[in-house]
Structure 1
Amino acid sequence: MHDIVPIDYEYLRLIWWLLLGVLLIGFAVMDGFDLGVGALLPFVAKTDEERRIVINVVGPVWEGNQVWLILGGGAVFAAFPLLYAVSFSGLYLAMMVILIALILRPVGFKYRSKIGDPGWRSKWDMVLCFAGIVPALILGVAVGNVLLGLPFEFDDTMRVFYRGNFFQLLTPFALLAGLVSLSMLVMHGAALLTWKTSGPIADRARTFGRFAALAAIVLFALAGVWVTYGIGGHVLTSVVDPNGPSNPLGKTASVVTGGWLANYTTYSWMILAPILGFVGTALAWVGFTARKPAITFITSAIGILGIIATAGVSLFPFLLPSSISPNAGLTIWDASSSKLTLWIMLLVTCFFMPIILAYTAWVYRVMRGKVTGDSMAKNPNAY
């Protein structure tokens, strides 16, 4: 029977691995500054007007930015269904904590302005801060646990069994990964505030941004050392057919200390990921110091790209290793949907993604400029 898909299964799997990375990085860059701004709200804004300015920096765009998270979840569900099943089962409680925080954010935006009482508004400001810190931290903890491997296994009928619990996710390395995530998103939020505000808010954001950028560099380096010498990385010990059927039990794998560094020897170009992570974050620190807000924001985004890409390329070809059954770890070669499904999804993505990007660019062009007390007074829809 003639194959109607003109691209090899191997390349389709690689394309969707790259697209998944793009969507995750897009979420971290676009919605990441929303989380960072929320985390900084009580610290960079002291008066009610200042806090309204900070809220209105992200108020018009946060809903659109969350689309990246929805797209990422949809891509995992459709392109790598086994990854979706195992990760959402194992990280169920962690995902619920994130969802609760994300639900509280719009509630905080809407309810804060309903009553003028300072106590009422202060409580909702703390809710918005919570809704910024918790997802940033827990998402990093999740990535840390992916690098460690989750305790799952399959039986002979391909039923998955998860052997862990929520508190087992809070290991020292995973918490370190969470702090890397929190510091880089706080840096990114501060970069946006220095760009979109002025006066005392921008000055305070600049101070916090410098500290967060420095913390991100140090913590990222510490995580790299820990990955090299402190945790085991998974490596394939059998030949896997990139064009073969999706069967996680059709391979063998082992755990080797420093194994996540093997890709940097096999694929030397991957070293660009950690370089971008360090250089982008360092240049963001320079941008804060030199008071160059646009450059700071761009370099902060580059730093986030590099840090997240480092985790992705270090894991390749693994998507989700198993800490108790290395042979059951999911890779891009054995956890994907069918060839035809990946092809149809690719066509749909090629049609809709440019529309989403064009609309997003148009929205940010309309919303350009600094947020001030005067601009809020002229806008009846301001929070």
Structure 2
Amino acid sequence: MEIFVLAFFAIGYLILAGADIGIGMLLPYLGRTSDQRREVIAAIAPFFLGNEVWLVATGGILAGLFPTLEGELLSGNYGVIVALLASWVLRDMGLWLRGRVLAGGWQALWDGVIVAGSWGLALSLGTLLSDILLGVSGPVGMLPALIMAVLFAAHGLAFASLRLRGELRARATVLSAQTGEGVTYALTSGVIAALAIVAGLRLPLTDSHTGVAAFLAPVVLVLIPFLVAAQAWVWWTFRHRVTGPSYL
């Protein structure tokens, strides 16, 4: 049961946050002016903080139920984990400060920080998955990481095509013209989920602590319906296309 809980949160994070990571990666392409970029950011504004809850939950479950695996991932990929966390902080800093520190060309700087942080997140996650799936790391591991980053970018375009309108939507639908926006998003979500499942099957997930699991697993199972309900409420509330800038 603990394995399914870990998989639920890990896959949920990759699919949900993969969309806002992809949009951040392609921010200069989707938004050619400062106002357009702010409207593009508005497409992910209601979602990105909630999406990060799934990553925090994944880390907590990994530390609580699979400490040996956590130690192996950290010790074998210390630099990647540091890059992932740094990219996470930078991307969020750029999102929060972009609409608040504007004078003296700072807005362009924050746009660059958002793009760099998003690429850092995508490449870090891709490097982890390539190490788990293929057992490759270092410069060789960058090729699978780049493929994963391209997948995140495609996923972000699919999500942007569902959220944006007009000229911005036209740019985002470059991959969805033939299949439709919803189909493209479902396809990219399916590929991300499949890669995560294959990676999970290669991990030693049999060392969960029985005592911790007896306490933590029921708590998590009780909280999952509330988390899913909250996520569904946010998606339903903000189901309409973006019509202008948001609070970011």
TM-score range normalised by the length of the shorter chain: over 0.9
Counterpart residue number, 2:215: 344
Alignment of 1:181-192 (within 5 A): 181-192=148-159
Counterpart residue number, 2:164: 197
Structure 1: stretches of 5+ with no match in the other structure = 1-14, 151-168, 211-287, 320-330
Cα RMSD after superposing both structures: 1.9
> Residue 241 of structure 2 aligns to a residue in which SS?
coil
Alignment of 1:16-35 (within 5 A): 16-35=2-21
CA drift at 1:299 = 2.5
CA drift at 1:90 = 2.5
CA drift at 1:117 = 4.8
Calculate percent identity across the aligned residue pairs.
Answer: 28
CA drift at 1:93 = 2.0
Q: What is the aligned residue count?
A: 248
Residue by residue over 1:21-51, the C-alpha shift from the partner in whole angstroms, topping out at 9 and shown as x without a partner, is 2211111101111100100101111012210
Which protein has greater RCO, CA pairs closer than 8 Å, 6+ apart? 2
CA drift at 1:148 = 4.5
Distance 1:71 1:134, change over 3 A: same
Counterpart residue number, 1:302: 190
Report the Cα distance in structure 2 between the residues aligned to 1:111 and 1:332, rounded to whole angstroms: 40
Letter in 2 for 1:187: A
> Residue 289 of structure 1 aligns to a residue in which SS?
coil
Residue by residue over 1:320-378, the C-alpha shift from the partner in whole angstroms, topping out at 9 and shown as x without a partner, is xxxxxxxxxxx233x3212x3223222111111111111111111111211123xx3xx
Report the Cα distance in structure 1 between the residues aligned to 2:243 and 2:33, rounded to whole angstroms: 13
Greater share of residues in strand: 1
Q: Scaled by the length of structure 1, what TM-score is found?
A: 0.61
Report the Cα distance in structure 1 between the residues aligned to 2:100 and 2:62, rounded to whole angstroms: 38
Counterpart residue number, 2:173: 206
> Residue 56 of structure 2 aligns to a residue in which SS?
helix
Are 1:63 and 2:31 counterparts?
Answer: no
Report the Cα distance in structure 2 between the residues aligned to 1:118 and 1:56, rounded to whole angstroms: 23
Report the Cα distance in structure 1 between the residues aligned to 2:28 and 2:34, rounded to whole angstroms: 10
Counterpart residue number, 2:247: 382
> Residue 100 of structure 2 aligns to a residue in which SS?
coil
> Residue 312 of structure 1 aligns to a residue in which SS?
helix
Report the Cα distance in structure 2 between the residues aligned to 1:37 and 1:54, rounded to whole angstroms: 8
Distance 1:147 1:293, change over 3 A: closer
Letter in 2 for 1:303: V
Letter in 2 for 1:183: V
Alignment of 1:174-253 (within 5 A): 174-207=141-174, 210=175
Report the Cα distance in structure 1 between the residues aligned to 2:68 and 2:199, rounded to whole angstroms: 20
Alignment of 1:314-353 (within 5 A): 315=202, 319=203, 331-333=204-206, 335-338=207-210, 340-353=211-224
Counterpart residue number, 2:85: 99
Asked if the contact 2:26/2:153 (under 8 Å) is kept, the reply is: yes
Which of 130, 135, 138 in structure 2 is aligned with 1:170? 138
Residue by residue over 1:186-217, the C-alpha shift from the partner in whole angstroms, topping out at 9 and shown as x without a partner, is 1111001101001221222222xx3xxxxxxx
Report the Cα distance in structure 2 between the residues aligned to 1:188 and 1:355, rounded to whole angstroms: 26
Letter in 1 for 2:138: L
Counterpart residue number, 1:217: none
Greater share of residues in helix: 2
Which of 335, 358, 364 in structure 1 is aligned with 2:229? 358
Counterpart residue number, 1:281: none
Q: Which has the higher Rg, Structure 1 or Structure 2?
A: 1
Letter in 2 for 1:382: Y
Asked if the contact 2:69/2:205 (under 8 Å) is kept, the reply is: no
Distance 1:293 1:356, change over 3 A: same
Counterpart residue number, 1:367: 238
Q: Scaled by the length of structure 2, what TM-score is found?
A: 0.92
